Amino acid sequence: MKSRSRMLPGRAALGAAVVLPLALMFGAGAQAAQWENGQELYDNLCGKCHKPEVGVGVPIQGRGLPFEYVKAIVRNGFRAMPAFPEAYIDDESLAQVTEYIASLPAHQPKQK
């Protein structure tokens, strides 16, 4: 038997499920500069997976990766790597992090 009291909480939850992500998206988009510079973005996001000492993602520093390639991976995701939309990392920040990782020394695997 479907009573009204059982229906209402479900509808309220559905409303929240639609409105909340939109609020979060606009909240993120309203920030002018999400990232201070390339180093800040690398240290606080990309590097959490990509720094050689972390090793979740392959090292991306010191490889001179081109902007278009980095952008394509970041916008679309790549296998285990999640995608990040422009509201989260704008193109300018991506250009900065591309420059920053290219300026870092290449990772030297330990010699046996």
The catalytic residues are 80-81
Min dist. Cβ of residue 94 to ligand HEC (A) = 7
Tell me whether residue 9 or residue 82 sits nearer to ligand HEC (CB atom).
82
Tell me whether residue 74 or residue 104 sits nearer to ligand HEC (CB atom).
74
DSSP bridge pairs for 81 = 78
Instruction: Indicate the residue type of 82.
Output: P
Phi, psi of 78 (to 5 degrees): -150, 105
Close Cβ partners of 16 (under 8 Å, ≥ 6 residues apart) = none
Min dist. Cβ of residue 15 to ligand HEC (A) = 31
- Dihedral sign for Cα 83, 86, 91, 93, please: negative
Contacts to ligand HEC by CB under 6 A: 45-46, 48-50, 56-58, 60, 65, 70, 73-74, 78-82, 84, 89, 97
